[in-house]
Structure 1
Amino acid sequence: MKEINVPIGSTLKKIRENKGYTQKEISDHTMARSTYTKFENDDITPTLSKYLAILDHMDMSHEEFIYLLNDFELGQKETISYLFKQLERNPTRELVKEILEKGEKLAKERYDQLILDMLNACRGYLVLFEEQDLTKAKVYAQKVWDRMETLDKWYLAELHIINSILYLFDSETAALLTERALVTLNQYYHLEEAKNLKISFLLHLTNLLMMDQKYERALFYIKQLEVESSRMDFSVMFAVALVRKEVCMTKIGDTSEPGLIDRAIRIFDSLGKQSLKELVETDPENFFNLYSNYPLDKIQNELLAH
């Protein structure tokens, strides 16, 4: 995060006054009013527990408060993290290059392991975009995994990273990692970030399983992708799930749900996603496969507006 020039106390005071609260209402039973007054005057710094209590009484999250302190901007690291997460919904060459540019600049200024992991993940993505060389991309992904596998527990930041390098593993190992990730993500069930990440894990895993021609195994996760995408009202991913579902069902001789691809095409039509419609009609089996030798540039910018 960039250096904050606005004093915390004056910002607290401004927010409190704008919301029409008194110092007594904000301090409540968690601290003396005189103590809170000292916070607003920047005479003392609140402890973490008091800081969180103040924000709670002001009906504000930590993220929003930091955003206000930064004058309605994200800091350097926050910007890179935000862009990295967008890759899960909008995987474009341009976005990868932007992350690399900003991340490499920050890495020259200070050491940050998470940023270094994101940079290697993005270097792998760039190889996939520009060279369609999965083996070469895995060299960068392995650098990330060398650290991730030493950690006892993964939180959201680490799960975003692992999701981006899932192609490093054989499909069965990727399935085990995905199962572990889904268990953790289910604990974050109130956070939309976790729900989006769950969809992205399922998207990547089903890519890998279908490439290995493990269609019945892929169907198990495709059905989860279908449910989660519908629940999130993520129309593009829901249509992707329908395409993959019909492909896999056809491969195993299951004709119980005909017309899924046609339904997906109608969804793309209604969304104005003509390039996605054309890709489905051309090659439904490899549609939206991030890892095979597929013209990824043709689907750029199609996910962002879903």
Structure 2
Amino acid sequence: MQTNIGSTIKKIRSDKDFSQKYVVDGVMTQSAYSKFELNKTDITYSSLANILENLEVTFEEVLYIQNGFKHTEKDAIFKKFISTSYNNEENIKELFNMAVSYLHKKDDQLITDIKSLCEAFLILLYTADTRILQTTVSSVWRRLSDGNQFYFSDLYLLNSIFYFFPLETMLEIKKLAFKSIERYGDFQNIQRLKINFCVNISLMLIKEKCYVEALEEIETAILLSKKQKAYLQLAVCYVRKGICLNCLDNNGFPWVQKGIELLTVLEEHELLQMATVEINLYSEV
């Protein structure tokens, strides 16, 4: 059960065996802080930020603790969204039902967008009806494109829809997304999104038989994957690099084999199946 934030802060402070004086040093009076711990008064955000720094916890961790050491329902939906494979029917249905359940209780734009995208993914899996698909995805894109800057949740939404657009549009969206990602530095591993953008574009380029351009995206993704230790994406990149080299009359089989072996070692059976399908579909040898 969720408690008041003052009580949560008090528990964290007590568990760490920190005194009130230590926690509020240079921030506010101990008397005012004591009332906050007793949920008798509120404090400013700047004061709370300084107190959390002294407590050596983040605001996200406090919310997690406050909610009984589990994510809030909204956070759980978002975290599942960013970790779900868009061709996994079971996970998409589960995510869709979670979003519907949440929206029955509370209106929320992010969860509404996630629900719409789940519908789009299911359309893609069931019918591949591009007309309905574009209508569903466009509602999310209209909202995102109205802003001047993509924020954290926007970037993950964007990553899941941008490959529904024409290749030229995808490349422009990628440029805008990369600028926004740079502003976040290493915030919550957001740099990994760069890999996803490059990997998704590489497949579109392969489908268009633009193998040289696809290789450029793949090489960028390989460098980023190694830096971020993103081994699943690295394996996919190796397979696609091999496909491109084969189609360019070079020997890409060692790269294909390298990617397959890595997926096998990681026991990523779903990705292994996907890679096999891509090899059969796109290798022109």
Which residues of structure 2 form unaligned runs of 5+?
A: none
Relative to 1, partners in 2 of residues 1:130 and 1:235: Cα closer, same or farther, differing over 3 Å?
A: same
Which residues of structure 1 form unaligned runs of 5+?
A: 288-306
Aligned counterparts of 2:158 and 2:199: Cα–Cα separation in 1: 13
Mapped contact 1:236–1:268 kept (Cα < 8 A): yes
Partner residue in 1 for 2:31: 34
Answer with 47-56 or 214-223: which moved more.
Answer: 214-223
Q: Does residue 260 of structure 2 align to residue 265 of structure 1?
A: yes
Q: 1:165 aligns with which of 158, 161, 170?
A: 161
Q: 1:54 aligns with which of 19, 44, 51?
A: 51
- Local SS of the residue matching 1:187: helix
What's the CA shift string for 1:36-88, capped at 9, x where partnerless? Answer: 1111121211110011111110000001100111111222211111111112x
- Local SS of the residue matching 2:190: helix
Q: Scaled by the length of structure 1, what TM-score is found?
A: 0.85
Q: Does residue 120 of structure 2 align to residue 124 of structure 1?
A: yes
Relative to 1, partners in 2 of residues 1:70 and 1:268: Cα closer, same or farther, differing over 3 Å?
A: same
Offset at residue 188 of structure 1 (A): 1.9
AA at the equivalent of 1:28: D
Q: Does residue 174 of structure 2 align to residue 178 of structure 1?
A: yes
Aligned counterparts of 1:90 and 1:18: Cα–Cα separation in 2: 41
Offset at residue 22 of structure 1 (A): 0.6
- Percent identical among aligned pairs is 27
What's the CA shift string for 1:153-176, capped at 9, x where partnerless? Answer: 110111111111112211121011
What's the CA shift string for 1:233-277, capped at 9, x where partnerless? Answer: 22221111011112122323445x661111112212322345654
Offset at residue 30 of structure 1 (A): 1.4
Relative to 1, partners in 2 of residues 1:134 and 1:207: Cα closer, same or farther, differing over 3 Å?
A: farther
Give the length in aligned residue pairs: 282
Q: Scaled by the length of structure 2, what TM-score is found?
A: 0.90
Mapped contact 1:67–1:73 kept (Cα < 8 A): yes
RMSD, aligned CA: 2.1
Q: Does residue 215 of structure 2 align to residue 209 of structure 1?
A: no
Q: Which has the higher contact order (CA 8 A, sep 6+)?
A: 1
Q: Does residue 234 of structure 2 align to residue 235 of structure 1?
A: no
Q: Does residue 73 of structure 2 align to residue 73 of structure 1?
A: no
Aligned counterparts of 1:174 and 1:244: Cα–Cα separation in 2: 19
AA at the equivalent of 1:259: P
What's the CA shift string for 1:216-239, capped at 9, x where partnerless? Answer: 221111111111222222222111
Offset at residue 124 of structure 1 (A): 0.7
